Structure 1
Amino acid sequence: MSAGAGEVRYDDAFVAAVGVLNTRWALHVVHALSAEPLGFNELRRRVPGAGPSTLKQRLSELAEAGLLHREVLDGSPPRTRYSLTERGAGLRPMFTEMTSWADRHHLEAPDPAEISGGVLGLFQEKWAMHVVCVLLTGPHGFNELAREVGISQVTLSQRLTELERRGLVDRDRTGSAPAYALSPAGMDFRVVAEPLVEWAHDLHAHHERRTADRAEDAARG
C-alpha cells in the first residue's frame, strides 16, 4: 500500500510492530499501565481476565519489545513494579482516541467490566485491528481481504462476523461476490488507527536502527 499524507499505512512495518499487541490481554496491560505504574497484583485486579501465568508471559513479552520496564523494589518481601517506557507511553494518544471514538458511537461492552465500549476486547481478537486498517483503504472482496491481511479464510470469516455484529463493517451482497466496507462508525476508526500507525512506524524505525548499530558494532569487533 502506498502512503500519502494522513493515510493509514498497512504494511510490513505496521504488521511487525502491532504484532506484539495482538496477543491476548496485551492491549489491556498497556492500557492499565498508561495511567500509572502498577505492581503485579494491582495489574491482576485491573486485568481480571488474565490468569497469573498468562499475565507474567504478557509482561515478559512487552518488556522484551521495549514497551514496559520492570523494577524490583526493596522490601520484605521485595515487590515488583511495572511502568511504560517512552515507546510504550507512545500508545497513550491511541487509547485517548479509542475511548472518545467508542463513546461517540455509543459502543456497548458485552462485559460491563470492559473498557472503551469493549473495544479493547474486540481488537484483542487476533487480526481484527488489521482487518479494519485494511478496510480503511477501501472496500475489499473476501478473498482479496484474506490475501491483503494474510490470514486464513476461516479466521477472516470469524473476524468479519464480529465486526459486522458490532456495527463496524457492512457487507454489500449486490455484486457477484460479497464486498466488505467499513460502516460510518468503522470509517471514523481512522482517528484511532492514525496514531497507532504512526507509533508502529516509529517503533519499527527504532528497531531498524538498533539492528544496524549492532551490525556495525559486530563489524568493528
Structure 2
Amino acid sequence: MEKANEPRRAMMAALDLLGQRWNMRILFELRSGPLGFLELRRRTDDISSSVLATRLRTLVDARVLAKGPDGSYRLTEIGDELGPALEPLWQWAQRWNEDSDHTDHRT
C-alpha cells in the first residue's frame, strides 16, 4: 500500500513547493538563464530581500535551483524540466490575459 501512495506524495510535495508565493515567478524569471539576486528582485516587482532569500533557499534545498560561484541562480536539470511541463500554463495565461484585464491580481 505504501508504494501506491508514493506518486501521490510526490505530486503533493511538488504542488506545495510550486504553490508557495513567489516560487513560480522566480522559476519563470530564471527560464532564460542565470540571474543574480538583485536582478531577480527587480524582475519580481521588488519582492522583499528577506522573502526572496527564503524562497531561493527553499528552491535550492529542493534541488530545483543551484547557486553559482558568482552568486547567480540558475535552474538545475530537474528545474529546467519544469519548463515544458509549465508551457501550457504560460500559454493559457497569455490567452487569459488577452481576454480580459487580469494584469495585476497580486494579493
5+ residue gaps, structure 2: 1-6
What is residue 4 of structure 2 aligned with on the other side? none
Distance 2:8 2:101 in 1: 31
Per-residue Cα deviation, 1:173-197 (whole angstroms, up to 9, x for no partner): xxxxxxxxxxxxxxxxxxxxxxxxx
1:32 is the counterpart of 2:32? no
Per-residue Cα deviation, 1:29-68 (whole angstroms, up to 9, x for no partner): 0110111110000000111252000000000000000000
Question: How far is the alpha carbon of 1:23 from its aligned partner?
Answer: 1.2
Specify which structure has the higher proportion of helix: 2
Query: Structure 1 counterpart of 2:31, which letter?
Result: S
Aligned partner of 2:9 among 12, 16, 30: 12
What is residue 101 of structure 2 aligned with on the other side? 108
4+ residue runs of structure 1 moved beyond 6 angstroms? none
Query: Structure 1 counterpart of 2:48, which letter?
Result: G
Aligned partner of 1:90 among 81, 85, 89: 81
1:21 is the counterpart of 2:18? yes
**TM-score if structure 1 supplies the norm length?**
0.41
**RMSD between aligned residues:** 2.1
Query: Structure 2 counterpart of 1:61, which letter?
Result: T
CA contact (8 A) 1:31 1:95 kept: no
Query: Structure 2 counterpart of 1:53, which letter?
Result: S
Aligned partner of 1:51 among 48, 51, 54: 48
**TM-score if structure 2 supplies the norm length?**
0.80
Query: Structure 1 counterpart of 2:47, which letter?
Result: A
Distance 2:13 2:53 in 1: 22
